[in-house]
Structure 1
Amino acid sequence: MTETPAALIEHHHADVSGGWLRPAVFGAMDGLVTNIALIAGVGGGGVSPRNIVLTGVAGLVAGAISMGLGEYTSVRSANEQVAAEVAKERRELERHPEAEAQELADMWVKRGLPRHLAEEVATVIRNNPEEALRVHVREELGVDPDDQPSPWAAAISSFVCFSIGALIPLATYLLGFTNLWLALAVGGLGLFAAGAIVARYTNRSWWISGTRQLLLGGAAAIITYGVGKLIGVSGAIG
């Protein structure tokens, strides 16, 4: 037997369910921007390199824990909400199977399916309770009840990637260099690289994505540097 050309085509899709990619990207970007801004702020205030390192490490630890806990709670809560809606839909299918089948058929008719075909398919699905539940949840809620993101995957990826991102602008100080602008330059390179890496998953231009992240992080650094400079000068005057 010969396979049709369509059967020979392999489709590879990226993770779009929010399982690990979203929290990983968000964690890395947040770690970079947070510590670049922190270092720029306290550096602008004229504190010693030792205090800059202390501030950066504290920001890394506190931020990573906060990101991990936040992602776990967020994803877990979203999953619990989906589970509650699935349970509600299951009860409706048990109590009013005919009405639910008609509702499903009406949805498909609105999308252009012929009435007779929509009702025929809805009736077939109605006779398979578990499949009916999956189809109704996907059609009405827009989620797949069998493919929910893991709160642990989200928490761990966010924690690890935040830590890595926050470590980059600290690296020069940890290696013994004490120049603030060198640390900020390394952080800027990290922002550009992170944006370029994200472009690999989104099929966007790597240099546009990298430049966008660099500009956003740079804006945060400029603002916090100015605030630190102002407070540092004011403190010295006082």
Structure 2
Amino acid sequence: MSEAGGPGGRAEIHHQHRDVTGGWLRPSVFGAMDGLVSNFALIAGVAGGTSETRVIALAGIAGLAAGAFSMAGGEYVSVASQRELALAEIAVERREIAHSPEAEEQELAQLYEQRGVTPDVAAEVAHQISRDPERALYVHARAELGVDPADLPSPRLAAFSSFLSFAVGAALPLLPYLFGARQLWISAVVSSVALFAAGAIVSAVTARSWWYSGLRQLVVGAVAAALTFGLGTLIGASGL
């Protein structure tokens, strides 16, 4: 065992980080939350204006389908645009490394100096990295653009994750009506439990406690549903 703490002078790694750059987490979380809250609010709003369970269920189904396709399409276009922009900037960096390697090496050395590395060491590190154009491209992209050229977000993954998670979330407040329920409170109970559980699950990948995340999500969903129910009641009472 060397002084560095591992064989051959390599430092031992005593911890691992979770993936914070993948293209699936944000659309999945956002899709499930949005599906659950928006469809519960939609069902509550329609239920406030009519007691016809067939109409309420139809509204819930339409909300699920429209929301899921909309979320998937929006995520695909958004992530595809983000990816295309990153690829365009990476291509610029690749050309600069090919046509002006000395200038790029100096730029890399300056980046290390700005991070507190002494000029001599920064110049040597930049020189060694710049020997391999692909490695230099990777380092420049991470340092200047904040992206990994080999691990850019996938538009298809983002779209699929968003579609599936929204559909699952939106189905929960709808299920009681599909199984014959005729009162809104049954859907409200299912939705409330799901909202709290979804918030608690999200806490596993955040720094928040499970009860705080669960309660926050429950309050957000309940407020949205209450406001929409009130609006539906007003419209239903007006006879529109």
> What band does the TM-score fall into relative to the shorter chain?
over 0.9
1:223 aligns with 2:236: no
- Cα drift, residue 15 of structure 1: 2.6
Which residue of structure 1 aligns with residue 116 of structure 2? Answer: 112
Which residue, out of 31, 34, 44, partners 1:40? 44
- Cα drift, residue 96 of structure 1: 1.6
Which residue of structure 2 aligns with residue 7 of structure 1? Answer: 12
Q: How does 1:91-106 map to 2 (within 5 A)?
A: 91-106=95-110
1:125-149 residue CA offsets vs partner (Å, 9 max, x unmatched): 2221111111111100011111112
Is 1:64–1:159's contact at 8 Å kept on the other side of the alignment?
A: yes
1:57 aligns with 2:61: yes
1:123 aligns with 2:127: yes
Q: Which amino acid aligns with 1:7?
A: E
Instruction: Give the distance between the partners of 1:221 and 1:160, measured in 2 at CA.
Output: 22
Q: Which amino acid aligns with 2:184?
A: L
- Cα drift, residue 223 of structure 1: 1.2
1:140 aligns with 2:141: no
1:124-175 residue CA offsets vs partner (Å, 9 max, x unmatched): 1222111111111110001111111221211111111111100111111111
- Cα drift, residue 113 of structure 1: 0.5
User: How has the CA–CA distance of structure 1 residues 123 and 153 changed in structure 2, closer, same or farther, with 3 Å as cutoff?
Assistant: same
Which residue of structure 2 aligns with residue 90 of structure 1? Answer: 94
Instruction: Give the distance between the partners of 2:94 and 2:12, measured in 1 at CA.
Output: 35
Q: How does 1:153-232 map to 2 (within 5 A)?
A: 153-232=157-236
Instruction: Give the distance between the partners of 1:66 and 1:183, measured in 2 at CA.
Output: 24
State the TM-score, normalized to the length of structure 2. 0.93
Give structure 1 stretches of 5+ with no counterpart.
Answer: none
Q: How does 1:64-75 map to 2 (within 5 A)?
A: 64-75=68-79
Q: Which runs of 4+ in 1 moved over 4 A?
A: none
Instruction: Give the distance between the partners of 2:101 and 2:184, measured in 1 at CA.
Output: 67
Instruction: Give the distance between the partners of 2:123 and 2:25, measured in 1 at CA.
Output: 39
- Cα drift, residue 204 of structure 1: 2.2
Q: Which amino acid aligns with 1:177?
A: A
Instruction: Give the distance between the partners of 1:25 and 1:129, measured in 2 at CA.
Output: 38
**Aligned-CA RMSD value:** 1.7
State the TM-score, normalized to the length of structure 1. 0.93
Is 1:104–1:136's contact at 8 Å kept on the other side of the alignment?
A: yes
- Cα drift, residue 32 of structure 1: 0.2
- Cα drift, residue 97 of structure 1: 1.3
- Cα drift, residue 203 of structure 1: 3.9
Instruction: Give the distance between the partners of 1:15 and 1:48, measured in 2 at CA.
Output: 46
1:110-134 residue CA offsets vs partner (Å, 9 max, x unmatched): 1110011001111112221111111
Q: Which amino acid aligns with 1:107?
A: L
Q: Which amino acid aligns with 1:4?
A: G
Is 1:15–1:21's contact at 8 Å kept on the other side of the alignment?
A: no
**Secondary structure of the structure 2 residue equivalent to 1:168:** helix
Is 1:37–1:225's contact at 8 Å kept on the other side of the alignment?
A: yes
Aligned residues: 235
Identical-residue share of aligned pairs (%): 57
Instruction: Give the distance between the partners of 1:29 and 1:8, measured in 2 at CA.
Output: 35
